[in-house]
Amino acid sequence: MTQLILGPGALGRLLALRLGPYEPVRLLGRRPLPARLALTTPEGETLYREIDSALSGEAALPETVTALHLTTKSMAAEAALASVAPRLPPRTPLVLWQNGYEVQPRLHASWTGPVLCASTSEGAYVVENGVVHAGHGHTWLGSLDGRHADLATALAERLGRAGLPATAVGDIRQRLWHKLAVNAAINPLVARFGIRNGQLRDRPFRPMVDAMIEELAPILAAEGIPAPEPGWAALVWGVIEGTATNRASMLQDVSAGRPTERDAILGPLLAAARRHGLAHDRLLAAYHGLDGLPQA
């Protein structure tokens, strides 16, 4: 049984390098990868590991697959999956690692096998010869309709054994929306102004974050997403504090000239606001603040 990982970005490389010593793994991408990749751990150690990698469009795929982990950016997920789907057994379990809440409900409805979503706080970034695992986090796994709990538990155990602690949960939809709200409050601002997360605590950014949180709360409530235990403001400001020195993923995309995930992160919130007739000026400003930057 092989774990297939489709999308050799930071998360895909991290999964491949962490799972590799424990079970067969194949990393699929559109471009060839070196046979040996480096994993720099949060403790500062650099480990070199052989990786079985192949081109997603052409490779013969293993007959028995534990799961296909889709680790591309949200906007690339469906095309990437379509490039391998005809060569996969139709009941192959799919794990969606995308940010936002755009592609998940669509693939949940259309894929022929079990679909799990993952929400992770693992921190990683790509370097030329591998990946830096910048900070330990936690991963939550579950299906949008609460099914496949045994599969989620089994996969969580495999991830945990490989140094990526994970928990199977019945409320992944809510967790994805919580992360999306945090990302919506942080990412567009830091990407637009080219700042680290911690600079949001200072003027002129602090009131912008607070105004966004104020706009988000009723939209999430109208979508039936319960507020986190300490409230939305405490959640968002807690993440800003905890990731103060980070260059957020959207800022990294902008700096590298890659398309941002604004549609996956802001799109579902804008759609929800419009559906419920709620104010969304801040969301629109955040969306258009990224105009002129590369988009999918």
Q: Which residue has the tokens 């690339």?
A: 76
Spatial CA neighbour of 73 closest among 97, 105, 89: 97
In whole angstroms, give the CA distance from residue 84 to residue 77: 11
Minimum distance between the CB of residue 161 and ligand KPL, rounded to whole angstroms?
Answer: 25
Spatial CA neighbour of 250 closest among 198, 192, 199: 192
Sign of CA dihedral 198, 141, 101, 70: positive
Binding mask 116-155 for ligand KPL (x = CB under 6 A): ----------------------------------------
Determine contact, residues 99/171, Cβ cutoff 8 Å: no
Of 178, 187, 225, 290, the one binding ligand KPL (CB under 6 A) is 187
Instruction: Choose, from 13, 26, 148, 179, the residue flagged as catalytic.
Output: 179
Q: Which is nearer to ligand KPL, 98 or 183 (CB)?
A: 183
Minimum distance between the CB of residue 240 and ligand KPL, rounded to whole angstroms?
Answer: 8
Q: Which residue has the tokens 């079970």?
A: 23
73 is catalytic: no
DSSP β-bridge partners for residue 46:
40
Binding mask 188-207 for ligand KPL (x = CB under 6 A): ---------x----------
Q: Which residue has the tokens 């471009």?
A: 31
* Cα radius of gyration (the chain): 19
| 181 touches ligand KPL (CB under 6 A) | no
Sign of CA dihedral 56, 61, 113, 14: negative
Of 144, 182, 272, 290, the one binding ligand KPL (CB under 6 A) is 182
Minimum distance between the CB of residue 3 and ligand KPL, rounded to whole angstroms?
Answer: 24
Q: Which is nearer to ligand KPL, 71 or 246 (CB)?
A: 246
| 249 touches ligand KPL (CB under 6 A) | yes
Backbone phi and psi for residue 77, each to the nearest 5 degrees, phi listed first: -65, -45
Region near ligand KPL per CB under 6 A, out of 52-60, 107-115, 169-177, 179-187: 179-187
Q: Which is nearer to ligand KPL, 59 or 233 (CB)?
A: 233
136: left (phi over 0), alpha (psi -120 to 50) or beta: beta
| Strand-strand pairing, 115-120 and 46-50 | unpaired
Per CB under 6 A, contacts with ligand KPL among 205-244 are 239, 243
| 186 touches ligand KPL (CB under 6 A) | yes
Give the catalytic positions in this structure. 179
| Positions in the binding site for ligand KPL (CB under 6 A) | 182-183, 186-187, 197, 239, 243, 246, 248-249
